[in-house]
Structure formats: structure tokens, C-alpha cells
Structure 1
Amino acid sequence: MHLNPYGEDAVRLALSLITDPPPTDDAMVVRCLAYDLVIELPVTKYDRAATAEFLAEWLTVIDATDHDERAARLNDLLRFASAYPRLTNHAEDGWHIHYRDPAQPLASLLRTLISVGTALHLAGRGMHRLGRCAAVGCTTPYADFSRTGKQTYCSPACGNRDAVRRHRARTAAGS
């Protein structure tokens, strides 16, 4: 049984592709397969370029300054990405819902998967659950999957470094 192949994993895949872009077509395939994405057509050089272009657009959703702007930017992506929901067993691994047409090139499939996954993430967890790292000197994007919904750093390492920086600044000011 597939519960929701469009939610958290799709957003995590997007962040993975942004923070560590695959250098080759084969690396792109390996990355997508690591996130259980079924690739139906051969991957071409177009797929990596078009995916990079889409991810630059997707980052504007993260960088939106308020919820209405975030929704408008995501709706623009969804308008070009999604098809009517359909029930499928295309990989013979169980029936599940797709929000895309069958036999799409990888770049098109990623656009749909990530756009719909982001919409489900924001609608289900909160419109504030995307951002850029708050650590000084770090602008890495993150998606907040935490229980509390209060994430502000891209990683525990950045949070720890920033806490040490703040502590040292307080200690130096107190001297």
C-alpha cells in the first residue's frame, strides 16, 4: 500500500537535488531511484538542465516573504505540473494515485512530483514550513518536518555553530 508518494519524500528529493546537484545523467537516475522514483523513459541531458531550471523556480516558493506570495508562486508551478489524479499500478508494486500523466520525461515528472509534494507539505503541515537557514553565512534551503514546526536551520550542525557563535559573542561582550 502506498500512503503518499507525493509528500515528504518529494520535498526531500528537491532539497537533495538543490544542495548536491547530480553531475551526470547517471547520477541523476541514481538519486531519483534512491527516493523510490520510478523512471519510465530514458534520461537525457535535457532532464538535468530542465530540472535545474525548475528547481530555481521552486526556490522562489521557499523565498516568498508571506503565505499569500508563497501560495501564488506554488500555484504557478502547479499550473504547469499536475494532471488530474489517476489510480495506477504502473510498476506492478501496488495501486496508488499519481498526479501526472503517464510516460513523462524525468524533468516533467520531477516538476509534478515536487510541486504537488510541496503543496501537500505546506497544506498539511503549515505554510511556514519552508525556509532558508538562519545561521550566519548559510543560505541553504530547508523544509521543516519537525513535530513542533519551529525549524530555522538547515541542519543540526548549522544550529550548533550558530549557538556557539552567539555564546562566544555574549561571552566576549561580558568580558
Structure 2
Amino acid sequence: MVEIQTPDRLIRLAVDLVNTRTRDPEQLNEPDDVRGFLLEHGETDPITLDEGDLDAVRAVRERIRPVFHADPTDAARVLNEVLAEYAVRPYLSDHDGSPWHLHVAKPEATWAEWLAASTALGLAGFAAGHGFAAIDSCAAPDCERVFVNPAERRPRRFCSPTCSSRTRVASYRARKAGDSGHQSPAH
């Protein structure tokens, strides 16, 4: 496992992992889907996974999901529990000929354990720097995607401009439909 742990990478890993299961179809259906996810997020082959790894990665995803929906106290509790269970004191490694990089999971960690330690550390660091209000889920009623918003003074309610626009248009249409039903007859 090459663990070049930059804060942005860990946050993207956490958000993308949670977003593999939303109202869209499940994206992690077989071990090769997890392999593809890891490759897309900077890991390198060989990545060997089985059905047990798939189940364990899905379980990690569901452990960190509440962080995006909970109040700060509960979100911090979840992150602290995951960190206590999976993270170790950070250490530098240059294993397998890779450049020096930081590890936060034990050397024999499975991919699920590595994801748990890495995503919890990323979210904890992000919350410490930006507050839990910057870790959120989309306000669109038909979306379950999560996001982070590092921009101060620019509150964000939606995961994407698409969800924002769709919600705004639906609200406008609902208001127009309500207005047209209450108009006085013209004389």
C-alpha cells in the first residue's frame, strides 16, 4: 500500500468512499470494484481482494457515513472510535521501493483497515481545520451524496451545481403552481 497521505487526498478518499453508495446503484458490487476505487485514488498494483475485503470496505464506508450527517459531538465520537480502532502512531516508510511516505495504519493492515484509518484521519484533520459545519450532505431531497467545503464564508448546501439548480427549479415550479391556483379572475 502506497500511502502518500496528503490532507486533500484523504478527504477525497473519504467523500468518494461514502458516495459509492447513495440513491444511485451500489458501486462496490465485487472485489474488483474496490480494486478500481483504490487505483483511482492513487494506489498501485498489486491489489488483491476477495469477498471478505469487499464486505469489510463496505462496513468501513458505513462507519464513516454518519460523520457527514451527525452533530459535531457525535461526528467527533465516530471519528475518535475509528481512529482508536484502526490508526497507529504515524510513521514513515519507503517499502517496496516507493518514495518515503506516511503510514497511519498498522503495517499488516487490510485494505479496509487502511481505508478506516486514512479516511478517519483525513476527516478529523479537516474538521479540526474547518469545523464540522464544512462536512455535510447534499440538501437536495433526491440526493444522498456527501461533500466537504473548505471555503470559509461561503456556506454550501449542495454536492454539485446540478443538484442546486435542480432544487431551485423545482422550488420555482412549485411556487408558480401554487400562485396560479390562487389568482383572482380577470374582469
TM-score range, shorter chain: 0.7 to 0.9
Map of 1:115 onto structure 2: 120
124 and 93 in structure 1: CA distance in 2 versus 1, 3 angstrom threshold? farther
Higher mean alpha-carbon deviation, 154-163 vs 22-31, is at 22-31
Aligned positions of 1:25-174 closer than 5 A: 25-38=31-44, 42-64=48-70, 66-146=71-151, 148-174=153-179
Unaligned runs of 5+ in 2: 21-26, 181-187
115 and 39 in structure 1: CA distance in 2 versus 1, 3 angstrom threshold? farther
Task: Name the amino acid aligned to 1:54.
Answer: V
* CA-CA distance at 1:70 after TM superposition: 1.5
1:73-124 CA deviation, whole Å, 9 max, x = no partner? 2111111111011011225342222212223211111111111111112112
Q: CA RMSD in A?
A: 2.2
Q: Does structure 1 residue 9 correspond to structure 2 residue 15?
A: no
Tell me how far apart the structure 2 counterparts of residues 43 and 173 of structure 1 sit (CA, whole Å).
54
* CA-CA distance at 1:42 after TM superposition: 2.8
Unaligned runs of 5+ in 1: none
Percent of aligned positions that are identical:
26
TM-score normalised by L of structure 1:
0.84
* CA-CA distance at 1:161 after TM superposition: 0.3
TM-score normalised by L of structure 2:
0.79
Tell me how far apart the structure 1 counterparts of residues 114 and 59 of structure 2 sit (CA, whole Å).
14
Runs (4+) off by over 6 Å: none
Tell me how far apart the structure 1 counterparts of residues 44 and 96 of structure 2 sit (CA, whole Å).
7
1:34-83 CA deviation, whole Å, 9 max, x = no partner? 1113567632221110111121111122221x222221121111111110
108 and 38 in structure 1: CA distance in 2 versus 1, 3 angstrom threshold? farther
How many correspondences in the alignment?
171
Aligned residue for 2:88, secondary structure, equals coil
